[in-house]
Amino acid sequence: MANRILVVEDNDLNRKLFCDVLKANGYEVVPVADGQNVLGTAKRFQPHLVIMDIQLPNVSGIDLIVKLKGEGDLAEVPVLAVTAYAGKGDEERIRDAGAADYLAKPVSIGPFMAAVRALLPE
């Protein structure tokens, strides 16, 4: 059974790239474009990993990480945060919210897949 990954990304090109690369590597992937759909989708899909864009319209990815970590059945799911806006202190805030790892955009495929594999159960 393939590991399930929830990809939260509002940018169409980034979302398609992440999903295509993950599917090509054998993962089951569900994309979410709107942050307001994340919790409901995560509860239904029960992912093994969440890839979270931090800069989303209407809601902060950091707030969504906190909400996911507050859900009993999702609290242990690792979150890989991805953001284009990495200012001083951002990584610390993202990790403090509960993200297991962090990548700055633009994301290269090699480091992206290495981070994904490091966070997933064997």
- Closest listed residue to residue 55, CA positions, set 27, 35, 77, 79: 35
Quickly state the pLDDT bin for 89 (edges 50, 70, 90). confident
Residue 72: domain span: 4-11+21-119
Beta-sheet strand order (sheet of 49-53): 28-32, 4-8, 49-53, 79-83, 101-104
What pTM, to 2 d.p., does this model score? 0.96
User: Which has the minimum average pLDDT: 44-53, 80-89, 95-104?
Assistant: 80-89
> What is the number of residues in the chain?
122
Q: Tell me the CATH number at 59.
A: 3.40.50.2300
- Model confidence over 22-59: pLDDT tens digits? 999 999 999 999 999 999 999 999 999 999 999 998 89
Residue 96 belongs to a domain: yes
Q: Is 11 exposed, middle or buried (0-12, 13-18, 19+ CB in 10 A)?
A: middle
Over residues 63-86, mean pLDDT: 93
Residue 86 above 90 pLDDT?
Answer: no
CB atoms within 10 A of CB 30: 15
